[in-house]
A and B are shown apart, each in its own frame.
Chain A
Amino acid sequence: MNPILIIARRELGSFFDSLVAYIMLIAFLGFSGFFTWLFGGDIFFRKEASLQVFFGVAFWTLFFFIPAITMRQVAEEKKTGTIEMLLTKSITNRQLVLGKWLACFLLVCIALAFTLPYYFTVAGLGDIDHGATICGYLGLLLMSAVYVSIGIFASSLTNNQIVAFLLALIVGIFFHFLFDVVASDSSGMVGELASTLSLSTHFESISRGVIDSKDLIYFVSLTLFGLLMAEFMISKRK
């Protein structure tokens, strides 16, 4: 079996053996369910069958939950020394990083899969725009890919999980929120640049139902950049 899959299988197994996966799933579904259906309740007042409210909620819940699942990936291996055991086996730094990324990304996919009943429910209530909904999910997946990648990079910088969690949030908040603020407050070059870098801008344009190659390139390249940085940090040993 490919080393990437071996690592991913172990990590995913370890999520479900510990409480991490269950806490993550319950908390994610709890929060997004509460804010989508109960609190605010505007999903019923939009006068259209759409999951836009849910995508807006998940946009924020995933932002907080992903660093919590990525924080231990490399940091713990460094702390306990198991990274030495791993990297002296037949596996490259790149395969290790990809395996870890895949495991975290799959956990997010599982969490999102549990929200599919929302889709079916809303589809039963009215005439839902299937294309826009699929695009919304695609946007969430692409965003998750980026944050998992950033989270693993943050985790590879330290051997302390809390530091890794906070680092991932700090790096993430720029893409998630701050670049967007800068973009709306400034004009010209700076505004343009901030708007290009802002993840929320790209997310919105995809979740509106428009798949632009510009947005796809943005998500894929940011993910790859995070992974490459993580790989570089792991290969840098004394």
Chain B
Amino acid sequence: MDILIEGLTKNYGFQKAVDDISFKVNTGEILGFLGPNGAGKTTTMKMIMGYLDIDEGDIQVGGRSVKGGERDNSTFGYLPEHNPLYLDMPVIDYLEFCAALQKVPKDKIDHQIKRMVKLCGLDEEKHKKIGELSKGYRQRVGLAQAMIHDPKVLILDEPTTGLDPNQIVEIRELIKQLGKEKTVILSTHILPEVEATCDRILIINKGKIVADGTADTLRKQAQGQQVLQVRIEAPGADMVYEALQQLSTVNQVDVLDRDALRFEIQSVGDRKSNAHIFNLCVNNGWILTEMIPFETKLEDIFREVTLN
């Protein structure tokens, strides 16, 4: 089910929490929702879930507007921010309660609970009360309740907070696997996470979209010229330095380490210097021991688009 958001706006008093944002998420796509604290991520998700009213604009899920009384919440799986749970309920009872509320047929509830317990790794904890679980396990219960009715759309507000690195990898895999047939929007502060999980990244700041695209396209936009770090085994640093500067594709050469003969090479415009450097070394009988493309990190892009 596609999600189509058009001109979505939400005001809190004079403050615009979400300011005229529009985007589309296709079926089978995992959208990573990024932004600094208070950017409007949670507000947008709450509006998609119908928990907050929409001030202006519209949200359509599968071609139907979420406004008005005709919305069907069982199409959605939602993990709210801070993952609120009934701490006095045992895991199994809680999942049963959620499944019943989401209209899972009675004869399928047991099967679904078993599936989610297995999928979210809750087997050893399933009879404990939720209040007795550690934060990571509570997070798993939150995910399990969101997915118990096999929803077509998953909205996850910071799904991996509080998990240990192993759990994070497991949950990411789980989301990726589920994301193949569902439409997923997840928000996070953890940048490597979006790269690892999401097909597309949307960065919002102060209620506005400031970047939209795959990790690669965002990188390309931010990067500009190609930057390479090379290390060459040759008789002398000066000789190599001069030869590199003579190359037609090279704009600028910096010496990083004179003794180890490591250089940073910036290419001209959108041209690449890899082949030229390789050929230069072959012709002179030098040994090229390292060639590392310097990548703009997502962190840098994030800082660039959200700090001004």
A residues with CB within 8 A of B: 1, 3, 6, 10, 13-14, 17-18, 80-91, 237-238
Residue of B nearest to A1 (CB): B100
Known: A84-B46, A90-B74. 12 other contacts (CB 8 A): A3-B101, A6-B101, A10-B86, A17-B88, A80-B84, A81-B84, A84-B51, A85-B78, A89-B102, A90-B72, A90-B73, A91-B73
Residues of A within 8 A of B80 (CB): 81, 84-85, 88
For the complex formed, measure the closest distance between the CB of A106 and the CB atoms of chain B, giving whole angstroms: 17
Q: Report the separation of the CA atoms of residues A86 and B46 in the bound assembly, to the nearest whole angstrom.
A: 13
26 sample A-B contacts, Cβ–Cβ < 8 Å, listed by A number: A1-B106, A6-B101, A13-B93, A14-B89, A17-B89, A80-B84, A80-B87, A81-B84, A82-B84, A82-B85, A84-B46, A84-B51, A84-B80, A85-B145, A87-B51, A88-B49, A88-B78, A89-B73, A89-B74, A89-B102, A90-B72, A90-B74, A90-B102, A91-B101, A238-B12, A238-B52
For the complex formed, measure the closest distance between the CB of B143 and the CB atoms of chain A, giving whole angstroms: 13
10 smallest beta-carbon distances between A and B, as pairs: A81-B84, A82-B84, A89-B101, A88-B49, A90-B73, A90-B74, A88-B78, A6-B100, A84-B80, A85-B84
Q: Are A237 and B101 in contact (CB under 8 A)?
A: no
B residues with CB within 8 A of A: 12, 46, 49-53, 72-74, 76, 78, 80, 82, 84-89, 93, 97-98, 100-103, 106, 145
For the complex formed, measure the closest distance between the CB of A31 and the CB atoms of chain B, giving whole angstroms: 27
Q: Report the separation of the CA atoms of residues A237 and B50 in the bound assembly, to the nearest whole angstrom.
A: 11
Q: Are B88 and A82 in contact (CB under 8 A)?
A: no
Residue of A nearest to B11 (CB): A238
Q: Report the separation of the CA atoms of residues A83 and B80 in the bound assembly, to the nearest whole angstrom.
A: 10
B contact face: mostly helix, strand, loop, or mixed: loop
Q: Are A10 and B73 in contact (CB under 8 A)?
A: no
Residues of B within 8 A of A87 (CB): 51
Residues of B within 8 A of A3 (CB): 101
Q: Report the separation of the CA atoms of residues A181 and B100 in the bound assembly, to the nearest whole angstrom.
A: 48
Q: Which of A6, A82, A90 has the most CB of B within 10 A?
A: A90
Residues of A within 8 A of B52 (CB): 237-238
Residue of B nearest to A18 (CB): B88
Q: Report the separation of the CA atoms of residues A83 and B87 in the bound assembly, to the nearest whole angstrom.
A: 14
Residues of B within 8 A of A91 (CB): 73, 101
Q: Report the separation of the CA atoms of residues A237 and B47 in the bound assembly, to the nearest whole angstrom.
A: 11
Q: Are B53 and A237 in contact (CB under 8 A)?
A: yes
Residues of A within 8 A of B102 (CB): 89-90
For the complex formed, measure the closest distance between the CB of A182 and the CB atoms of chain B, giving whole angstroms: 41
Q: Which of A3, A18, A87, A89 has the most CB of B within 10 A?
A: A89
Residues of B within 8 A of A10 (CB): 86, 89, 97
For the complex formed, measure the closest distance between the CB of A94 and the CB atoms of chain B, giving whole angstroms: 11
Q: Given A6-B100, A89-B101, is A82 in contact with B53 using a C-beta cutoff of 8 Å?
A: no
Q: Are B84 and A84 in contact (CB under 8 A)?
A: yes
